[in-house]
Amino acid sequence: MTKKMYDTPMLDQLESGPWPSFVTGLKRLAKDNDMMVDLMGQLETSYQTRKGYWKGGTVGVFGYGGGVIPRFSELKDDQGKPIYPAAAEFHTLRIQPPAGMHYNTEILRKLCDLWEKHGSGLIALHGQSGDIMFQGVSTANVQPAFDELNEMGFDMGGAGPALRTSMSCVGAARCEMSNFDEAKALRTIINDNIDDMHRPALPYKFKFKFSGCGNDCVNAIQRSDMAVIGTWRDSIRVNEALAKDYMAKHGMEKLVNDVISRCPTKALSLKNTANVSRADGISSVAVTDTQSLQIDNHNCVRCMHCLNVMPGALLPGTDKGVSILVGGKSVLKIGATMGTMVVPFMKLESDEDFEALATLSRSIIDFFAENALEHERTGEMIDRIGLVNFLEGVGIDIDANMVLEPRSNPYVRTDGWDEEVEKAAEHKRKIAG
């Protein structure tokens, strides 16, 4: 037996138009679900008054300290009773999706059945941190819903001052730009540190994101405290047949204007094939019978532009790995900060490589846990203590790739100069292997 629907003149206006309407979806659920009837009542009120009416609280599942987003309605009558009682509790379960957000229909249908049984029937695919958000469940149903999800192989995501649910791009599953196994890296790092997700005890949130190349399709650099971004050390691979296909389709004008002149470091040039340089780090691909695209790989910054414009004709090299950037975050409190380079390159192929990444991740989380102030993100901590203190604390060697330019002021005490010069020489020897 379902409650009568409220009039929702404002929301009704969001049913027209060509884009799929969430309001139509809510109404369909409300046909046999009192919670959604009342949810629509509250949402319509918000549209009318332009105010939100949810407050947080404490709701969780046994054994975990986070992952449920509690929501209690604040729309109450004179007696303090909820005006929309069936939606007075409308919590969200954050559940971690399979890395790369792959599903088959069998598992999606099971998730739907489960949420129809225990919750409102509304699922967001996905939240901004990458969670499957099962939206709308009463306090009493949180535990049984989670138990069933957990038995199906799904685990709670992150909320509060904790390690957060992570995201990786489609990467190796379907992209020729991929430089590492993004899903394996994500699962290795997150599952290694899962205790920090389920029992929030960090100064504030900590996010990892994994992008297979500099195109950074999951926005690791701006949205994660530790961004793992694919790159390569050797030369761009070339495919002459595909390069000539590109020319046949687009012509010399496009090659010059869209590819060569857009290279940010002028690492691309057009050469008569007879004049192509044989110097170290130069690769080339014939684009016509007499002309070649020449690539100065030592000056290429792996920005991905030319690979994007000429897919398949230009590909990442074979000596692949990752760069690691630390400190990306949004506005609060000091303003948005971009992740900055702390590890220019590390291999990520063997089990030992993945272990090394896991060890580094753990020491960065540990340093954050011990040194950040309450409600301070990694980027803010680095802003406060300086990058060098962070690097020394975590044990990362100084590298010139960490800066755009050296300091332009003399306000620094340099009486350790000779020791630092020795460290720099040691770092150089280490990189040379």
Rule CB under 8 A: which of 241-260 touch another protein?
242, 254, 257-258
Three-class DSSP category at 190: helix
Are the beta carbons of 158 and 129 closer than 8 angstroms? yes
- Where do we find the tokens 């010139």? 400
The reply on whether position 92 binds another protein by CB under 8 A is: yes
What part of residues 52-91 is at the interface with another protein (CB under 8 A)?
A: 52-56, 61-64, 69, 71, 90
How far apart are CB 19 and another protein at their closest, in Å? 4
The reply on whether position 205 binds another protein by CB under 8 A is: no
Q: Would you tell me how many other CB atoms lie within 10 Å of the CB of residue 52? A: 9
The reply on whether position 428 binds another protein by CB under 8 A is: no
Query: Is residue 218 classed exposed, middle or buried when 0-12, 13-18 and 19+ CB atoms within 10 A define those classes?
Result: buried
Residue 130 C-alpha from the chain's centroid: 8
Residue 307 identity (one-letter amino acid): L
37, 68, 183, 372: residue in contact with another protein (rule CB under 8 A): 183
Three-class DSSP category at 72: strand
Give Cα separations from 169 to 165, 213, 401 (angstroms): 14, 9, 25
The reply on whether position 6 binds another protein by CB under 8 A is: no
Are the beta carbons of 41 and 87 closer than 8 angstroms? yes
The reply on whether position 309 binds another protein by CB under 8 A is: yes
98, 317, 344, 393: residue in contact with another protein (rule CB under 8 A): 98
Three-class DSSP category at 55: strand
Three-class DSSP category at 234: coil
Cβ distance to another protein smaller for residue 79 or 408: 408
What part of residues 27-46 is at the interface with another protein (CB under 8 A)?
A: 28-29, 39, 43, 46
The reply on whether position 421 binds another protein by CB under 8 A is: no
2, 5, 22, 392: residue in contact with another protein (rule CB under 8 A): 22
What part of residues 109-128 is at the interface with another protein (CB under 8 A)?
A: 109, 111-113, 115-116, 121-126, 128
How far apart are CB 352 and another protein at their closest, in Å? 18
Cβ distance to another protein smaller for residue 112 or 421: 112
